[in-house]
């Protein structure tokens, strides 16, 4: 698998292309903004986009969903606990932060621990509430990579002062769902640089 990172939108959100190099199919993790840029990147890589994976429903992670769905018919995966936030522009902050009432209706609602295969990649959804009620991460065991959204960052964790946030819940999510993964798992967060599970176990100040 090959991973391409695009930093998109006003708050510099990481949008990832997960490319299955044998099948030349790809997934989009958190289509933050600029569907045209995402589509152009896929064309440059010579891959066919198959679906979108949402780590959570905040506006800065979903602004390109509608355009990608309209242009390419991509289906949307999200945690079932995030359905309400995805459908409420006030809760998902799209109205307040971007002046646009954005809602998303997922095609596939996932439950904690559910494994599925898309674009030739085997993925496990890990429910990690705290940043939002239905925040989740996507773990690819074979590739030993984790897409953590705004749950876990390099040296930090997500904000919990937005609607539905909870610091204690988020810390518990990270400790119980993420830090139990192998230490060499690479973590691709929703903002800023990549890290590893081992590094966060050792240095993340919230994990003391």
**CA–CA gap between residue 134 and residue 94 (Å, rounded):** 17
Question: Two tokens at 205?
Answer: 């100040």
Does residue 208 register a pLDDT over 90?
no
- Nearest 10 degrees: CA dihedral of 127, 55, 175, 84? -50
- Nearest Cα neighbor of 146 from 167, 128, 164 is 128
Residue 81 CB coordination number (10 Å): 20
Give the pLDDT of residue 181: 98
Cβ(81)–Cβ(129) below 8 Å:
yes
For the stretch 149-197, pLDDT in tens is 999 999 999 999 998 999 999 999 999 999 999 999 999 999 999 999 9
Walk across the sheet containing 108-110 and list its strands: 2-8, 13-20, 25-29, 48-53, 75-79, 108-110
**CA–CA gap between residue 196 and residue 178 (Å, rounded):** 10
Cβ(5)–Cβ(15) below 8 Å:
yes
For the stretch 67-82, pLDDT in tens is 999 999 999 999 999 9
Q: pTM here?
A: 0.97
For the stretch 38-69, pLDDT in tens is 999 999 999 999 999 999 999 999 999 999 99
- Nearest Cα neighbor of 30 from 159, 196, 151 is 151
For the stretch 17-42, pLDDT in tens is 999 999 999 999 999 999 999 999 99
Does residue 98 register a pLDDT over 90?
no
Does residue 145 register a pLDDT over 80?
yes
Residues recorded for the chain: 208
Give the pLDDT of residue 7: 98
For the stretch 103-123, pLDDT in tens is 999 999 999 999 999 999 999
């Amino acid at each position: 698998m090959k991973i391409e990172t695009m930093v998109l939108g006003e708050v510099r959100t990481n949008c990832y292309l997960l490319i299955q190099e044998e099948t030349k199919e790809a997934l989009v993790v958190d289509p933050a903004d600029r569907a045209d840029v995402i589509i152009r990147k896929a064309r440059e890589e010579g891959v066919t986009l198959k679906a979108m994976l949402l780590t959570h429903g905040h506006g800065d992670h979903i602004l390109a969903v509608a355009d990608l769905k309209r242009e390419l018919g991509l289906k949307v995966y999200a945690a079932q606990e995030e359905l309400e936030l995805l459908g409420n522009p006030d809760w998902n902050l799209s109205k307040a932060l971007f002046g646009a009432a954005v809602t998303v209706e997922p095609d596939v609602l996932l439950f904690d621990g559910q494994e599925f295969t898309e674009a030739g990649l085997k993925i496990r959804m890990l429910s990690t509430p705290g940043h939002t009620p239905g925040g989740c991460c996507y773990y690819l065991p074979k590739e030993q990579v984790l897409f953590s959204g705004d749950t876990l960052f390099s040296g930090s964790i997500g904000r919990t002062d937005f609607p539905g946030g909870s610091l204690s819940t988020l810390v518990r999510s990270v400790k119980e769902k993420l830090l139990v993964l192998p230490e060499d798992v690479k973590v691709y967060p929703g903002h800023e640089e990549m890290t590893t599970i081992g590094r966060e176990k050792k240095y993340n100040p919230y994990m003391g």
